[in-house]
Structure 1
Amino acid sequence: MSRLIDNPKRYSTLRLNLMEGDTLEAQEALYDSGICYYQDIVQEMKKFHTNEYPTNDLMQYFSLPYDKKREKIIKQKILSAYPTVQVEGNSLYAVLELNMVKDLTLFELHDFTEQIAYQYKYGWGEALEYHNFKTQNSDHITVRLYHSDIKFATGMVFEQWMRKSRARNRRKHTPER
């Protein structure tokens, strides 16, 4: 089993861009400096919708056309999947908050993750990428859930990432004797 039900969240890396105010063209990639927009992004993602994507529950768009039986099983186990963001250290991560009633097998987790990546690239996430957020301080930003080096993690794996990251940061900031 995937043990996703122990921490029903799917974490992934994301990218932010600061947009030029007048032209709304990408001005600057926001790596570790994007956390100041955390609250703005959370609020925008909660209310974001289009005619094609009237809800931010990604399970409404979940589809496995090559395996309808597995699609049905996954939909019975995961009732909803809402994207948001989370701050960890100096970085923002995309988080898919899941309402689950039963754990996924590893094969189902793989299919679920592949389909969510597809939605991030071509579906709801793509529509979000073309939506410019106007922040509280009047900056304009975009959020890209899908990018070429995207990484997904269960809660357990994400915690391992964070422990390793904290250990690296401690070593960098610990003076040598």
Structure 2
Amino acid sequence: MEWLKEFLGDELYAQVSVKLQGNNKVKLANLASGEYVAKQKYTDKESEVATLNTELAALKEAAKKFEGIDVDALNQKIKDLEANSAKEIEKVKRESVAKELLSGYKFTSKLAQESALNKLLSKELKLEGDKLLGADDFMKSLQTECPEAFANDDGGTKPPVVVNTGGSHEGGQPAQTPSLESAISDFYK
């Protein structure tokens, strides 16, 4: 309280000093120096510091679990897995769309249908929504190239037309009946 002397003078300071002696209700402090802090503020800050120290200790403990782990490598693995998953999803979706397309065609056998599916998928046509772009044109060309793989409306096949008259045509060579081996070989070419 000595600092008040400078402002109040000796006489007034002595009077104030006598009046405040033994008084517990009034406390004087020079707030200009920043030395005084209300007790509640101090208690709140103490509590906040204790909480922060507890959180810091918990974070340090959690960080120990990740010591020696390369975060960049983990991030790269995640990116790789996401890319592979996207490719697999696209592959499954492409196959599903192709199977749906082939369900609109009648095949002579399950083997012919699977072969058509494999050929369609090997073209790697662009998937746009629920359509394979160019798939209809591919199926038309496949029907032309391999008519024996497709069944007609009554369930029969569309075999290639072979006419053997047994004779010769306009001075040409006589028609020859192919052997069973060459017929099978020609069929699967």
TM range (shorter): under 0.3
Query: Greater relative contact order: 1 or 2 (C-alpha under 8 angstroms, separation 6 or more)?
Result: 1
* TM-score using structure 2 length: 0.21
* TM-score using structure 1 length: 0.22
